[in-house]
Structures are given as C-alpha cells and as structure tokens.
C-alpha cells in the first residue's frame, strides 16, 4: 500500500493498493478526522459499480462504526445532470445526513464529480471520500477537487473546487473494467508520461497493457498532486493536464459523446503531437514514439473530422481567453509547455496534425 500526501488548501491523502475496499472504513478512521464527528456515511454509486462493490464498502464502513445509506444512479454520463444532483440532495436530506456526516463516492468520474458537488453544497459543505473504480477516475478526476455536473449548454458547466478528505484506490477494481473503459483510462496514463515522467513512459512502452498498476497509478496521482498543489484553482499550470483535450473535447462533441472521453483525448494527443512535430516544436521521433505507444494500447490516433468543424467547437473551449487559447504542446517526452496561441494560428497548427 502506498500513501500520497496531497497538500492542497485542505490537505488529504490518496491511498493506493490491492484489497482496499474491504478496509475502507478503517482507512477513513486512520487517515482522516471523519470518525471524530461522523455517525453516518451516504454511499453514492451507480448500477454498474454498486452490484459489484457496494456491499463490501458498506460492510467495512459498518465495521468501522458508521451507519450507512446507499443511493444508486444509472451508470453513464447522462446521470451527471441537474436532475440527478437534485435527487442525490433529496436522498441526503431524507437519510438525515447532518453536517458532521459524510459522503462516499463509489464509482467512476461521473459519480465522483456529482457526489463531490453534492458534498460541496449540501448543508453548505460536508466531508466526502473518493473511491474511484475506473482508471480514468483514479488518475484524474478523484484527485484535485474538481467537482460538478453537466448543463444542457455543456459539460462541467456547474461545479465547485472542493477537495475530498481521502482518496482510496483499490487496484482490484481495475480488473473488472470492460476493455473499452480500461483502454480509455490508459490514454490519461500515457498523458502523464508525456507530460513529465520518461521512466513512466518507458515502463508503458516496455509492459504495454500489463503495466504495474500500483506503481503507475501512484505515479500519476503524485504527478497530478504536484500540478494541483501549484495551481489548485486552475489559473495556469493545471492547464498542462489538458494535453490532448482541446481537440479531444471537439472530437467527443462531434461524436455526440458516442466516443469515450479517453479515446477522444488519445486522438487529440496524436493530432497535437503530429502538429508539434510539423511545427518543429518536437522531433518527428518524439511524435512517432507517442503515437506508437497510444496505438499499442489499442487507442485511436486518427481524426475522422475535418478542421473546419473541429475549429468551430475548439473556439468554444473553456480554455479560450479572448482571442487566444492555451494549448499544451510536447517539446520532448516528459517536457511539455503551455503555449498561448491565437485562435487563427491554432486552426492552421492543428490542421498539420490531422
Ligand atoms: N482533469 C483536469 C484537472 O483536474 O484539472
């Protein structure tokens, strides 16, 4: 078991290891102050994850002395909306969750983001613990305190920065993921290697999908921790985490969200990396190495949409400020930078990578 200290404005730990679900109650007692005041845990999960793990988590919480109540949402991004959010708040009220109680988010990014937002707002804020059950949630959304829901006008448009009190990543959860969900998580893992850790990148080149999960996930969490602790409220450095996301979000939208987020990010990374090689920001060899690694994980690297449609959507990207967009480009493996690029230049830049 490994423990990563995350020293944001409200510090907490991320625990990574195997078989942690059945110890989650004890881990909460040991690594947070929650047991000093809480009587009850509200477990929020979905109908794909709940049947696998909710009983284990509930039993462990009970064993540690907490009462429990469980709320199950339908699996999928469609649940990350204002109606589900209202239902979760209603459930917390009906379950008589008080300000001293806490939420356990048991699931992937949708459950983590929505439960975190409910925790941030119910009774003006109660404690919450993240138990991510997908790779994507483990290495990205469960750490760093971005919580929120989608609105009809777009993804993640309502939310709050609200840090959990503990993150528990049980490696065993990642053994039951569908092939597609496992694969999309790998795109974010490869992203960390490209962003700042050549050893991690080499480990992924050497072991492919049989990578050492505990080492890799812990390393990604440490890297996210380093970035988030420098820029908790996303005003600069944190934008590095958006490598591949500007084009990726456009691809996701053009597919009507039929394409998994991680797959779209993979396409976005491949395009920006090829464009960077064409623009002499990185070498052709660096670009080839990154694209080859993505492909070897079964991730898509070709973009089936034309630049005009993509550009239209990229202009409405959250990362746009005025007539500029902050684009993350690789200079080498483990060396990326944020470039403030005029929108018009971005169009011709990206076109070279498609
Ligand atoms: N998912 C990007 C971030 O946490 O900033």
In order along its 354 residues, the chain shows pLDDT tens digits of: 999 999 999 999 999 999 999 999 999 999 999 999 999 999 999 999 999 999 999 999 999 999 999 999 999 999 999 999 999 999 999 999 999 999 999 999 999 999 999 999 999 999 999 999 999 999 999 999 999 999 988 889 999 999 999 999 999 999 999 999 999 999 999 999 999 999 999 999 999 999 999 999 999 999 999 999 999 999 999 999 999 999 999 999 999 989 999 999 999 999 999 999 999 999 999 999 999 999 999 999 999 999 999 998 888 776 667 788 899 999 999 999 999 999 889 999 999 999
Closest CA to ligand 1's atom 3: 241
Ligand 1 in reach of 25 Cβ (< 6 A): no
- The tokens for 146 are 């971005």
Ligand 1 atom at shortest distance from the alpha carbon of 238: 5
- The candidate with the shortest Cα–Cα distance to 107, out of 67, 148, 137, 146, is 137
Q: Note the pLDDT of residue 154.
A: 84
Q: Where are the alpha helices (DSSP H) in 20-161?
A: 24-31, 50-63, 82-94, 109-121, 135-136
DSSP string, 188-244: HHHHHHHHH-HHHHHHHHHHGGG--HHHHHHHHHHHHHHHHHH-TTSSSGGGGGGTT
37 CA → ligand 1 middle, Å:
30
Distances 188 to 7, 37, 132, 135, 204 between C-alpha atoms, Å: 22, 36, 15, 9, 12
pTM of the complete model beyond 0.85: yes
Looking at ligand 1, which atom is closest to the CA of residue 242?
A: 2
């Amino acid at each position: 078991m490994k423990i990563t200290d995350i020293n944001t404005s409200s510090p907490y730990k991320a625990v990574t290891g195997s078989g942690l679900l059945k110890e989650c109650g004890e881990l909460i007692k040991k690594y947070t102050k929650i047991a000093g005041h809480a009587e009850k845990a509200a477990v929020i999960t979905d109908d794909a994850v709940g049947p696998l793990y909710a009983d284990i988590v509930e039993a462990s919480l009970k064993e540690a002395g907490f009462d429990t109540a469980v709320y199950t949402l339908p699996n999928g991004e469609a649940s990350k909306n204002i109606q589900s959010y209202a239902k979760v708040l209603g459930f917390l009220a009906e379950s008589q969750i008080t300000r001293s109680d806490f939420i356990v988010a048991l699931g992937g990014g949708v459950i983590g983001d929505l439960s975190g937002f409910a925790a941030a707002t119910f009774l003006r804020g109660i404690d919450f613990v993240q138990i991510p059950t997908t790779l994507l949630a483990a290495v990205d959304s469960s750490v760093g305190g971005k919580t929120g829901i989608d609105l009809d006008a777009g993804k993640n448009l309502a939310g709050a920065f609200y840090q959990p009190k503990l993150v528990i990543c049980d490696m065993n959860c990642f053994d039951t993921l569908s092939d597609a969900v496992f694969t999309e998580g790998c795109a974010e893992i490869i992203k960390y290697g490209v962003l700042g850790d050549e050893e991690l990148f080499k480990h992924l080149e050497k072991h492919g999908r049989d990578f050492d999960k505990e080492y890799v996930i812990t390393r990604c969490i440490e890297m996210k921790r380093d970035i988030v602790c420098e820029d908790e409220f996303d005003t600069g450095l944190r934008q590095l985490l958006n490598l591949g996301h500007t084009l990726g979000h456009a691809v996701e939208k053009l597919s009507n969200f039929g394409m998994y987020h991680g797959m779209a990010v993979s396409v976005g990374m491949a395009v920006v990396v090829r464009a960077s090689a064409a623009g002499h920001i990185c070498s052709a060899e660096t670009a080839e190495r990154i694209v080859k690694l993505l492909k070897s994980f079964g991730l898509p690297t070709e973009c089936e949409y034309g630049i005009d449609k993509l550009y239209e959507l990229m202009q409405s990207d959250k990362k746009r400020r005025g007539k500029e967009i902050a684009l993350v480009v690789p200079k080498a493996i483990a060396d990326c930078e944020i470039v403030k690029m005029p929108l018009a230049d971005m169009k011709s830049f990206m076109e070279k990578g498609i």
